[in-house]
Structure 1
Amino acid sequence: MKRQIIALLLAAFPLIGCQPAGPSNIAEVTGIVTVDGKPADSATITFAPAHAGKSSFGRTDDAGYYHLVYTTDIQGALIGEHTVTIANEPPPGQARPAVMVPRQYGRAGKLSANVAANQKNQIDFALTTKAK
């Protein structure tokens, strides 16, 4: 009996504390979006892979903080280069955010980011209202 219990414990040991791993081609992405040094609230941020693949999305809170979601069950974005768009235009009838993201950042080609493998990616965007 004692040997059976020990055998069961040894068999179960590798399972204790294990979490299911996400896909190996996805990495966590968080960051802060500011406009002229002020947090951009209620902004939608999209990371679209430069090559092929599914985009990831996030939304900033009152402090400008975001985290990306790949699917409802998977956090992060595909590893590699991305075209990034950021916008916070309110739908008709809703209040305007305190800090507006200039429209130029809502167009593809203005911003980009690289999502690195095997790490938590902190990717901040310090946007400006001044034309470049």
Structure 2
Amino acid sequence: MIRISLLLGLALLLGCSHSMPSNVADVSGTVTVDGKPASGAMVSFSPTGEGRTSFGLTDDAGHYHLVYTNDIPGALVGDHEVAINNTPPPGKPKPAVLIPAKFTQTGKLTANVVAGEVNEINFELTSK
């Protein structure tokens, strides 16, 4: 009886775990503007080919971690066009460090996500 319970418990544990697909890799990094962390910025990685866009939000230190789906962290392996934006909606206060408009459009920044690695991709933006 104990053996059956252990096997059933192991099967449930293995069946409920989420593994990262082989075509997705972990991606994180920091966004700064003129050396200052950009908080509250949405970072999006859009594959240059087919595939789902990954998103992350920067914290007060400018650090982000991408999410591919609700339960899978990271981004598709390969080349991406990147957009970063922390422009507030009308009527909301501006953040202390605003992302320059040229970086809010997809294609001005690019990144390559490498399979099997923790990809630390930092963006050191300038306001000029």
User: Does residue 1:68 correspond to 2:66, yes or no?
Assistant: yes
Q: TM-score, normalised by structure 1?
A: 0.84
User: Does residue 1:108 correspond to 2:106, yes or no?
Assistant: yes
Please list the CA deviations of residues 32-64 of structure 1 after superposition, one character each: whole Å capped at 9, or x if unmatched.
Answer: 000000000111110000111010011111100
Q: TM-score, normalised by structure 2?
A: 0.87
Deviation at 1:75, TM superposition (A): 0.7
Q: Which structure has more strand as a fraction of its residues?
A: 2
Please list the CA deviations of residues 68-119 of structure 1 after superposition, one character each: whole Å capped at 9, or x if unmatched.
Answer: 0111111100000000001110012222111000000011221000000001
Consecutive aligned runs of 4 or more in structure 1 exceeding 3 Å deviation: 17-20
In structure 1, list runs of 5 or more residues that go unmatched.
Answer: none
Q: How far apart, CA to CA, are the structure 1 residues paired with 2:68 and 2:39?
A: 21
Whichever of the two has the greater Rg, that structure is: 1
Q: How far apart, CA to CA, are the structure 2 residues paired with 1:20 and 1:86?
A: 28
The within-5 A match list for 1:1-132 is: 20-130=18-128
RMSD (Å) for aligned C-alpha atoms: 2.2
In structure 2, list runs of 5 or more residues that go unmatched.
Answer: none
